[in-house]
Structure 1
Amino acid sequence: MSFIDLNSDLGESFGQWHMGDDATMLGIVTSANVACGFHAGDPAGILRTLKAAASHGVTVGAHVGYPDLVGFGRRNMDIASDELRADVIYQIGALKGLARAAGTQVRYVKPHGALYNTIAHDRRQADAVLAAIDDVDASLVLMTLAGSPLNEWACKAGLRVAAEAFADRAYNRDGSLVSRREAGAVLHDADQVAERMQRLAREGVIECIDGHDIALQADSICVHGDSPGAVALAAAVRSRLARSGIKLKAFAETGP
């Protein structure tokens, strides 16, 4: 491919709890998945991140999640469909208001953590999230796990989709992410991560945790903002892609 998006999860600090280096990361990425207050983030901090994203020309997405501040949105929840739909509507709406105040706009939706992994395969919860996006703004792009059934479900629902791969996470052979509870699930070596993403962009493959290559087509690459060394990882990926002739461009700005 000639271009790809680079995104990160930002706006996740909460009060005195500082998470990530948003200011520096916004000088590297092309898209920012901004917390909406359910899994992380407080209004003032979210607004600061949105203003910084606007000043850097970084595209903004709503990073919606389960109502789980204590667990950072990484605990599975069996939420009723109507409640989940309302929760997602609420989060997108809140971020849209803050984004407008910051001089930018929400262009896409990326579910967070356990919600992201659940709706990749759980049709009931996926339908609730899809309906919520349609209720608020059907022009929003949905970022999905590359290769997951959610891609097809979202397209059939009439939503535009951007498939995502993770730079700093290990993959199983079926294309799912290795559980964070398992050793080796999170990658920290910047050179290794950059090389993996170069192969992804160039060849459409990624090495899974057992050493086998699997096919993976992605529109965007994610580096988690809360990971140790996240800025160095993102910078290494950006540099390696640039040297390979791969341009970075926000997927939400490329048209259908």
Structure 2
Amino acid sequence: MMPTIDLNADLGEGYGPWAMGDDAAMFGLISSASVACGGHAGDAETMFASLNLAQQHGVTVGAHPGYADKAGFGRRVIPMTAGEIGRMVAGQMGALLAIAALTGRRVRYIKPHGALANLAAVDADVAEAILAATRAVDPDLAVLAISGTMLEQRAATRGFAVYSEIFADRGYLPNGQLVPRQHQGAMIHDPETALSRLLRFMDSGRMAVVDGPPIALRAQSICVHGDNPQAVGMARRIREGLAAQGVTIRCFVG
């Protein structure tokens, strides 16, 4: 059993008067928060509120850029060149870093969102564009990448501090990619099912998949999606269950 692991959530995903999930509760349960940067969700006030909550709870903050597609919540691939993706990511990261300067909470890492993350998982040009933008905006940022993906590999090659992420509430395919959300088995809603699968992974280093034997993955972080209606209960149960096994919840960066 791993002695420590990070528990993260994608937060700040409201916009204007519309809230998404229970961020106030989630910030009290996690060790890192990937905050939307105004692309798939978020705006200046939402970012400011998220960073203040992170400051209050001692939660590490990461930038969570995605396709500028609020109607699709960043879960649709928008046709763009790699250069356009890099500039989009740089602009979103810059927005969060600027708001962070008003709060005293430093942004420590980047984690792409949704369809952008899934594309960077398999497309080397997209992964490189995201990394080049990150290095230009803040070369000290770490990279939080889906375990076993192109972004993870390229970040390591480029000398980034790179950390690997698994998902508590998502199903996996035998190739290590996530089950598409429109397919059966994509989402895990039951906290006990999610915890049981995580404990098996923590013991073995192998993740259960649909239609196949478990696969080997690396992980320094576990994600619970903040927009999942069961997010608070799942994060609380996972935290309790890991603590009962002697696992300490701690962010991957100090």
TM tier, shorter chain?
Answer: over 0.9
CA distance in 2, matches of 1:105, 1:138: 14
The equivalent residue for 1:168 is 169
The equivalent residue for 1:61 is 62
Q: Write out aligned runs for 1:1-256 (5 A).
A: 1-210=2-211, 212-253=213-254
**In the alignment, is the contact (CA less than 8 A) between 2:127 and 2:150 conserved in 1?**
no
Q: CA deviation at 1:210?
A: 2.0
**In the alignment, is the contact (CA less than 8 A) between 2:174 and 2:212 conserved in 1?**
no
Q: CA deviation at 1:211?
A: 5.4
CA distance in 2, matches of 1:117, 1:82: 17
Write the letter of the residue equivalent to 2:33.
A
CA distance in 2, matches of 1:162, 1:135: 20
Q: Which ranges in structure 2 are unaligned for 5 or more consecutive residues?
A: none
CA distance in 1, matches of 2:87, 2:231: 32
Write the letter of the residue equivalent to 2:97.
K
Q: TM-score, normalised by structure 1?
A: 0.96
CA distance in 2, matches of 1:125, 1:147: 16
CA distance in 1, matches of 2:227, 2:153: 30
Number of residue pairs aligned between Structure 1 and Structure 2: 253
Q: What is the CA deviation profile of residues 130-160 of structure 1, one whole-angstrom value per residue up to 9, with x for unaligned ones?
A: 1001101111111111011322211111211
**In the alignment, is the contact (CA less than 8 A) between 2:10 and 2:64 conserved in 1?**
yes
Q: Which ranges in structure 1 are unaligned for 5 or more consecutive residues?
A: none
CA distance in 2, matches of 1:156, 1:55: 35
**In the alignment, is the contact (CA less than 8 A) between 1:9 and 1:34 conserved in 2?**
yes
Q: CA deviation at 1:165?
A: 0.1
Q: What is the CA deviation profile of residues 69-114 of structure 1, one whole-angstrom value per residue up to 9, with x for unaligned ones?
A: 1110000123112221111111111111111212201000000000
CA distance in 2, matches of 1:84, 1:36: 14
Write the letter of the residue equivalent to 2:151.
L
Percent of residue pairs identical = 47
CA distance in 1, matches of 2:198, 2:100: 30
Q: CA deviation at 1:193?
A: 0.4
